[in-house]
Every structure is written in structure tokens, then in C-alpha cells.
A = this chain, B = another copy of it.
Amino acid sequence: MAENLRLWLRLLSTTTMIEAELRRRLRAQFNTTLPRFDLLAALDRAPEGLTLGEVSARMMVTNGNVTGLATRLEAEGLVARRPDAQDRRAVRLRLTPAGARAFAQQSAAHAAWVRELFAGLSGAERAALHRLLGRAKQSLNGINQEEAA
């Protein structure tokens, strides 16, 4: 059924449009990018910092990706690498004070943008969409389990 295909294309284009708008605003107002913002956001929720592996799992990207991202953000003074106390293989990443300040500003703007972008939907519509996306994720997890089996 082409119905499934249309659903997927619409899901993809909706996400792409929102992402493009957020990227544009992050660049225009903060001269930063979505991956950088996402990395700061992950660290902001983790006062103890995160290992690079934990970051890459949360961001759903590869380890090598996080290595490069962290290196650039470190050069800008927004995050700091420090050896993990327990595991000498691991590197723990945390926000610097400057990084925390930058993220606080970006985060507030980002939340307002997202609210604005979904403003055309009623509360009930947003709730229904949230629920259905949850169902879609369940559907996906079913697939991945089968693959692993």
C-alpha cells in the first residue's frame, strides 16, 4: 500500500521542516548548530557529566561523531573533557560555566520556538499526535527485536 509510503514521507517532511527552521534560528540568533545544541542539552541534564559513549547513545549518533563535536565545543570553551574516575578508557564530558550559560539562553529560545511551531495544533491534537508517535515507536521496537533474535 502506498498509504504507508505517504505516511512516511509526510512524517519525514514534517520533521525536516521543523529541523530546518530550528537550525536557521540557532544559526541566526546564536551562531551555533543543532548538533552542538543537542550535545549541550544532553550534558545539561547530567550534572556529573557523561562519557562520550553515553552522549552518542542519547544523541543517536556514532562515537566518532561525538569525538569531533566534543573537540570543537571544547575548543570554544563550552565543554570540558576529563578522565573518568572509574574507567580509564572512558572520557567524561561536562559543561563549563560558559557552556552552561550559553545553553541556558539557547534552551529558552529553543523551547519558545518549538511552542510557536506547534501553535497551530490544539492541545488535544498535540496529545493525540504524541500518543500515535509513541505507538509508531513501539512498532519499530518490535522490528528491531525481531532482527536481533
B-contacting residues of A (Cβ < 8 Å)?
1-8, 10-21, 60, 111, 114-121, 125-126, 128-130, 132-140, 142-144
Contact = CB atoms under 8 A, between A and B. Distances in A.
User: Oligomeric state, in number of copies?
Assistant: 2
A137 B129 CA distance: 13
Given A21-B143, A60-B16, A7 B128 contact: no
A130 B13 contact: no
Specify the main secondary structure of chain A where it touches its partner. helix
Nearest to A137: B14
A121 to B, nearest CB: 6
A17 B48 CA distance: 28
22 contacts: A3-B130, A4-B118, A7-B126, A7-B129, A8-B117, A10-B137, A11-B18, A11-B129, A11-B133, A14-B133, A14-B140, A17-B140, A20-B60, A116-B143, A117-B140, A118-B136, A118-B139, A119-B139, A121-B132, A121-B135, A121-B136, A132-B132
A68 to B, nearest CB: 19
Chain B CB within 10 Å, residue with most, of A14, A19, A60:
A14
B140 A21 contact: yes
Contacts of A118: 4, 7-8, 136, 139
A62 B137 CA distance: 30
A14 B126 contact: no
